[in-house]
Chains A and B, each alone.
Chain A
Amino acid sequence: MSLNDGRKRVALALGACAFAGTLLYFVVGGIGNNLVYYWGPTEVLAAGPKAHGASIRLGGLVEAGSIKKGEGSNLSFSVTDGKKSLSVRCSSVPPQMFREGIGVVVEGTVATDGVFESHRLMVSHGNEYRAPDDPASVDLKKLMGSASELPEQDKK
Chain B
Amino acid sequence: MSASIGRSLVLLSLLFASAGAVAAFAAFLKKRADLTTLAIRAAYGFAGFMILANLWMVQALLRNDFSISYVAQVGSIDLPVWVKVVSLWSSLEGSILFWGGVLALYVAVATRSLTEAHGWARPAAIGVWLACATFFGFLIAGPAQPFGTMVDVPADGPGPNPLLQNHLLMAIHPPFLYGGYVGMTIPFGLALAALMTGRLSPTLLGTIRTSLLAPWSFLTAAVVLGGWWAYEVLGWGGYWAWDPVENASLLPWLTATAALHSAILTERRGVLKGWTMSMVIASFLLTILGTFMTRSGIFNSVHSFTQSAIGPTILVFLGFATLASVLLLGFRVDLLQPDGELERGASRDTAFLAQNMLFVLFTFTVLIGTVFPLIVEATRNVQMSVGRPYFDRMTVPIGALLLFVMGVGPALPWGASTSAELKRRLLPPLGLASGFLVLALGVGIRSPWTLITLFLAGYAAHVTLFEAFRPARTRLKIRNDGFVKAFSQDLFGPGLRRLSAYVAHAGAVTAFIAIAVSSTGSKSVERTLAEGETMTFGRYTLTLEGIENLEEPHRTSLIARIGVKKGDTVLEPLRPMMNQYRSQRESIGTPAVRTGLIEDLYLSTMNIDTNSRTVGLLVMINPLVSWLWIATVIMTAGGLLALFSSKRAGRVVEPARDLQAEVAR
Which residues of the other chain, A, contact B587 by a CB distance below 8 angstroms?
Answer: 96-97
Is A46 on the interface with B (CB-CB < 8 A)?
no
Task: Name 7 interchain pairs, CB-CB below 8 A, sorted by A.
Answer: A31-B369, A37-B382, A127-B585, A144-B300, A150-B234, A150-B236, A153-B238
Q: How far is the CB of B221 from chain A (nearest CB, A)?
A: 21
Interface residues on B, range: 35 or more
Interface residue from B238, B299, B528 paired with A93 (Cβ < 8 Å): B528
List the B side residues contacting A123 at CB < 8 Å: 586
Shortest C-beta distance, A50 to chain B (Å), equals 14
Which chain B residues lie closer than 8 Å to A97 at the CB level? 586-587
Q: Is the CB of A35 within 8 A of B384?
A: yes
Looking at B123-131, B206-214, B389-397, the stretch in contact with chain A turns out to be: B389-397
1/0 per residue, CB under 8 A from B, across A24-35: the answer is 001100110111
Q: Check if B361 sits within 8 Å of A23, measured CB to CB.
A: yes
Separation of A127 and B390 alpha carbons in the complex (Å): 31
Q: Does A7 contact B (CB under 8 A)?
A: no
A26, A72, A151: the one within 8 Å of B236 (CB)? A151
| Shortest beta-carbon distance from A108 to chain B in Å | 12
Is the Cβ of B243 less than 8 Å from the Cβ of A130? no
- Chain B residues within an 8 Å CB radius of A141: 383
Q: Given the complex, which residues of A lie within 8 Å of B338, measured CB to CB?
A: 1
Residues of chain A with a CB closer than 8 A to B383's CB: 37-38, 140-141, 144
State in angstroms the CA–CA spacing of A73 and B614 once bound together: 12
Set B299, B372, B384, B617: member contacting A37, Cβ < 8 A: B384
Contact (A149, B390) CB under 8 Å given A96-B607, A128-B306, A144-B383: no
Whether the pair A38, B342 counts as a contact (CB closer than 8 A) is no
The binding surface of chain A is classed by DSSP as loop
Query: How far is A144 from B618 in the complex, measured between Cα atoms in Å?
Result: 23
Does A80 sit within 8 A of B, measured CB to CB?
A: no
Q: CB of A146 within 8 A of chain B?
A: yes
A73 touching B616, Cβ below 8 Å: yes
Does B271 reach chain A (CB closer than 8 Å)? yes
Residues 493-526 of B contacting A (Cβ, < 8 Å): 524, 526
CA distance A149 to B162 in the complex (A): 13
Q: Write out the residue numbers on chain A whose beta carbons fall within 8 Å of the beta carbon of B230.
A: 151
Whether a CB of chain A sits under 8 angstroms from the CB of B368 is yes
A30-B606 CB under 8 A given contacts A38-B384, A73-B616, A92-B526: no
Q: Are A149 and B302 in touch, CB under 8 angstroms?
A: yes
- B386: Cβ under 8 A from any A Cβ: yes
- Across the A-B interface, the 10 shortest Cβ-Cβ residue pairs: A151-B241, A145-B300, A93-B616, A38-B383, A34-B390, A34-B387, A96-B607, A93-B606, A36-B387, A30-B390
Contact of B394 among A26, A125, A126, A127 (CB under 8 A): A26
Name the one of B234, B369, B607 contacting A151, with C-beta atoms under 8 angstroms: B234
* Interface check B647, CB cutoff 8 A: no
B612 to chain A, nearest CB (A): 11
Instruction: Report the Cα distance A26→B234, complex, angstroms.
Output: 33
Is the pair A27, B365 in contact by a Cβ cutoff of 8 Å?
yes
The reply to whether A30 and B394 form a contact with Cβ atoms under 8 Å apart is: yes
Q: Which of A122-149 contact B (CB under 8 A)?
A: 123, 125-128, 130, 140-141, 144-146, 148-149
CB of B163 closer than 8 Å to a CB of A? yes
* A154, B389: Cα distance in complex, Å: 9
List A contacts of B271 (CB < 8 A).
1
Which residues in A have some Cβ–Cβ distance to B below 8 Å?
Answer: 1, 23, 26-27, 30-31, 33-38, 55, 57, 72-73, 92-98, 123, 125-128, 130, 140-141, 144-146, 148-154, 156
How distant is B367 from chain A, measured CB to nearest CB, in Å? 10
Task: Give Cα distance in the complex from A35 to B368, angstroms.
Answer: 13
List residues of chain A with CB within 8 A of the CB of B364.
23, 27
CB of B608 closer than 8 Å to a CB of A: yes
Closest A residue to B390 by beta carbon equals A34
**Nearest-neighbor residue (CB-CB) of A120 within chain B:** B236
Q: Does B578 contact A (CB under 8 A)?
A: yes
How long is the Cα–Cα vector from A141 to B299 in the complex, in angstroms? 11
Chain B residues contacting A140 (CB-CB under 8 Å) are 383
Distance in Å: Cβ of A94 to nearest Cβ of chain B: 6
Docked complex Cα distance between A30 and B444 (Å)? 30
Determine whether the beta carbon of B234 is less than 8 Å from that of A31: no
- Determine whether B301 belongs to the interface, using a CB cutoff of 8 Å to chain A: yes
Whether B606 lies near A95 (C-beta < 8 A) is yes
How far apart sit A97 and B579, CA to CA, in the bound complex (Å)?
12
Determine the chain A residues whose CB is within 8 A of the CB of B616 once the complex forms.
Answer: 73, 93-94
B63 at interface by CB-CB < 8 Å: no
* Bound form: Cα–Cα A134–B447 in Å: 50
Min Cβ gap A144→B in Å is 6
Given contacts A30-B394, A95-B606, 20 further A-B contacts (CB under 8 A): A1-B342, A23-B361, A26-B394, A31-B369, A34-B388, A35-B384, A36-B384, A93-B616, A96-B578, A96-B586, A96-B587, A126-B161, A127-B161, A127-B585, A149-B302, A150-B236, A151-B238, A151-B242, A152-B388, A153-B241
A35 touching B606 by the CB < 8 A rule? no
The answer to whether residues A30 and B393 also contact, given A55-B387, A73-B616 and a CB cut-off of 8 A, is yes
Residues of A within 8 A of B605 (CB): 96
- The distance in angstroms between the C-alpha atoms of A125 and B584, with both chains bound, is 10
Residues of chain B within 8 A (CB-CB) of A127 are 161, 584-585
In the assembled complex, which residues on chain B have CB atoms less than 8 Å from the CB atom of A150?
Answer: 234, 236
**What separation, in Å, do the CA atoms of A154 and B341 have in the docked complex?**
47
- Considering the complex, which residues of chain B in the window 127-168 have a beta carbon less than 8 Å from any beta carbon of chain A? 161, 163
Closest to A145 in B: B300
Residues A148 and B301 in contact, CB atoms below 8 Å apart: yes
Chain B residues with Cβ below 8 Å from A23 are 361, 364
Say yes or no: is B589 at the interface (Cβ < 8 Å to chain A): yes
Cα-based distance from A35 to B77 in the complex (angstroms)? 45
B648 at the interface (CB under 8 A from A): no
- The chain A residue with its CB closest to the CB of B383 is A38
B569 to chain A, nearest CB (A): 28
Residues of B within 8 A of A35 (CB): 384-387
Known: A1-B271, A148-B300, A150-B234. A96 touches B386 (CB 8 A): no
Nearest neighbor of B519 in chain A, beta-carbon distance:
A154
Q: Which of B326-350 contact A (CB under 8 A)?
A: 338, 341-342
The answer to whether B368 touches A27, judged by C-beta atoms less than 8 angstroms apart, is yes
- B276 CB → nearest A CB, Å: 15
Chain A residues with CB below 8 A from B526, complex form: 73, 92-93
Determine the distance from Cα of A35 to Cα of B607 in the docked complex, in whole angstroms.
Answer: 30
**B580 and chain A: residue at smallest CB distance:** A96
- The residues of B that contact A151 with a CB separation of less than 8 Å are 230, 234, 236, 238, 241-243
